[in-house]
Structure 1
Amino acid sequence: MRMWPSRWVKGGVGLAVVLLSGCKASSTSDDHHYGYDESHYTHGYFVDARDTGHYFPDTGWSLNRESEACIGDTLYFETANERVRVYGSPAYSETTFRAAATELDNRIDDVLSQFRMGWHDFIDERSAAAPYPKQLIACLSPHVADAELSSASLSAVAIAPYHGSWPYDTGQILTHDLAHYVQENLSRYNAHHTLLPLWFAEGQATVVAGEPIASAYQHYDYEPLRDVTREDAGNASLRYEHYALAYRYLEKANGALAMTLLLDLVQFMDWKGDYPGVISSGESRAFVEAFDAVELVDHRGRYLSFARFRAEYHELLGASY
């Protein structure tokens, strides 16, 4: 855990109970599916946890429903570099294990680079409370639909278990969910729920995955900052584009590294555990206090508190283009 400068640790913050949306579903037709040349699968080997003692995590606080499906599974495929383990039932094909491990191993570095980190930086900064903090854990889960493909939690990424039915945009979907995996590991220590508002978490993941972003002149079409939890969000198809617009405004003004430092500071607040609760609008106190403490600025370089960003969102976006 990084020691934080005292100027970043101010006033009351803490742990919040807010819900991160599940992974963004992909709407693809049945005749467009993922393909991968098996000769390019990453090297690795199949192992049984009854031999190694490396059982799938059973700590429910750090898993979601989709990844809990692998609790009790002992078979896993581990990449030769020991970075990725994919657990699942022996009923699933070896090809699916290998394909999942290859995709995760190939994509994690690109995802981390957008957080301005390398693999070893991530290992040093992620929650030490997570099981197997030196590995990326995955679960071939029957609770993940083929079109949705994946769903991320702090301890594991759940992946649909039938490789032949993965959608054509598999890479983009996995990148989106790997972004969530990184977010949760950098912003939570032992909180039982995400500390990030929905708009921020989904907006950052959308930007990292290279998915569509609303144009700044369209900012009045949606109110992204009102979507603090999944329960707050409507069904508007364009909402992810507006989450990305809100997040990108912050990143453009402050840089991607500042956004990663914000996540790390939220984790520090959770680790201290001194400031439980949420503010009146529903955001975790940890996120709000970290937002203010990291000293973000607007597009003109003026200090931007969370309260001001929320209150003046449309005015700020309208003046930014």
Structure 2
Amino acid sequence: MATSKTVLILSVLVMALTGCKVTTTDSRHYHPDSDSFISGLFYDARDTGRHYPITSWALNSDTEACRNETLYFETNSGRVRVYGSPAYSETSFRAAASELERRVDGVLGRFQLRWSDFVEDRSAAAPYPRKVIGCLSPKVSRSEFVSASMAAVAFNPYYGQWPYETGQIVTHELAHFVQENLSRYDASYSLLPYWFAEGQAVVVAGEPVAPVYQHYDYDPLWDVTPHDAADIPYRFEHYGLAYRYLEKANGTLAMTVLLEMVQILDWDGGFLGEVSTGESRAFVEAFNSAGLVDHRNNSLTFQRFRSEYHDLLNSSY
């Protein structure tokens, strides 16, 4: 499964040693000129045989809504395909496809990847590994607007209700889409701690990150799953702070390699389950094998990062 590129990077590192956040209540809406939408054509899966993904391990409750839909819009590049009910407007299909097509390259760039790299490194077990699949889903609320899974990105289907912050929200959710495709092979759930997944998406989307001197205000690394998180909106700024610390000390490419290593361990199958603190064994093993360092260039294990988080942040400014 692993590509030659990933194997090479992994080998070098080993030898060297190696739900979603954004919501909106803004009353303003997003209405770009429909003439600027990406070109493409409508098709019916009953004619083409290209049906929407149905594997439950790669979908979430929002993206499952398109399982029985056969109508889809595909951009001329062939990279993006959006499924949905014929009851939704043509504009909604085109707008969703245009958002995905226009933003995916910028998101991949933040992961130090080109489209060809992503296709190569993405799990072959994912449905349509050479596509970004979209879904116009009635399960996605107006306040949430977009929701990403490994197989697809779901949009609220009513274009007239799309929020002013559409671009930033789509970027955040595409970051989750890329994360899941780089870090999972066929695991039935995300292998990334909640704080890491959200923190990386916050940084990729250019959302606010907590100032370093405020690190004592929250303990982000305790939020292994969404159920662990306190009902405090500013926690996402602290997820971003925790992730940015790692990226700043190690570089963006190292974070992407970390995701790829998690996928390799998932494919290997020898690192199932969780460690005592709740994180997946695959993530912890990958973190400890990635040769990561702190801001002083000292070796950084996951256990040390978790136990010394505030001391590390306190001495980094």
The CA RMSD over aligned residues, in Å, is 1.1
How many angstroms apart in 2 are the aligned matches of 1:80 and 1:48?
16
SS at match of 2:74: strand
Pair 1:170-2:166 in alignment: yes
Confirm or deny: 8 A CA contact 1:8 1:293 kept in the other structure.
yes
Confirm or deny: 8 A CA contact 2:22 2:172 kept in the other structure.
no
Task: Report the counterpart of residue 21 of structure 2 in structure 1.
Answer: 24
1:139 to partner: Cα distance:
0.4
1:169 is matched by which residue type in structure 2?
A: E
Structure possessing the higher relative contact order (Cα contacts under 8 Å, 6 or more residues apart): 1
Q: Which range moves more in the overlay, 76-85 or 142-151?
A: 142-151
2:228 pairs with 219, 225, 232, which one?
232
SS at match of 2:227: coil
1:155 pairs with 151, 155, 161, which one?
151
Unpaired runs of at least 5, structure 1: 11-21
Confirm or deny: 8 A CA contact 2:125 2:186 kept in the other structure.
yes
Q: CA offsets per residue over residues 96-127 of structure 1, 9 Å max, x none?
A: 00000001100000000000001110000011
Question: Measured at CA, do residues 7 and 285 of structure 1 come closer, stay the same or move farther in structure 2, by a change above 3 Å?
Answer: farther
* Number of equivalent positions: 309
How many angstroms apart in 1 are the aligned matches of 2:38 and 2:283?
37
Pair 1:48-2:40 in alignment: no
Task: Report the counterpart of residue 17 of structure 1 in structure 2.
Answer: none
Confirm or deny: 8 A CA contact 1:203 1:244 kept in the other structure.
yes
How many angstroms apart in 2 are the aligned matches of 1:143 and 1:116?
32
Pair 1:180-2:180 in alignment: no
How many angstroms apart in 1 are the aligned matches of 2:300 and 2:278?
19
Confirm or deny: 8 A CA contact 1:26 1:148 kept in the other structure.
yes
Confirm or deny: 8 A CA contact 2:24 2:165 kept in the other structure.
no
Q: Which range moves more in the overlay, 178-187 or 140-149?
A: 140-149
2:235 is matched by which residue type in structure 1?
A: R
TM-score (norm 1): 0.94
How many angstroms apart in 2 are the aligned matches of 1:251 and 1:276?
26
Q: Percent identity among equivalent residues?
A: 61
2:168 is matched by which residue type in structure 1?
A: Q
1:35 to partner: Cα distance:
1.3
SS at match of 1:100: helix
Task: Report the counterpart of residue 196 of structure 2 in structure 1.
Answer: 200
How many angstroms apart in 1 are the aligned matches of 2:23 and 2:129?
29
1:24 to partner: Cα distance:
1.6
Confirm or deny: 8 A CA contact 2:211 2:241 kept in the other structure.
yes
TM-score (norm 2): 0.96
More helix by share: 2
Confirm or deny: 8 A CA contact 1:7 1:293 kept in the other structure.
no
Confirm or deny: 8 A CA contact 1:28 1:168 kept in the other structure.
no
How many angstroms apart in 2 are the aligned matches of 1:259 and 1:7?
15
How many angstroms apart in 2 are the aligned matches of 1:129 and 1:215?
40
SS at match of 1:231: helix
Pair 1:118-2:121 in alignment: no
2:295 pairs with 276, 294, 299, which one?
299
2:278 is matched by which residue type in structure 1?
A: G
SS at match of 1:151: strand
Confirm or deny: 8 A CA contact 1:84 1:104 kept in the other structure.
yes
1:6 to partner: Cα distance:
4.5
Pair 1:256-2:252 in alignment: yes
1:25 to partner: Cα distance:
3.8
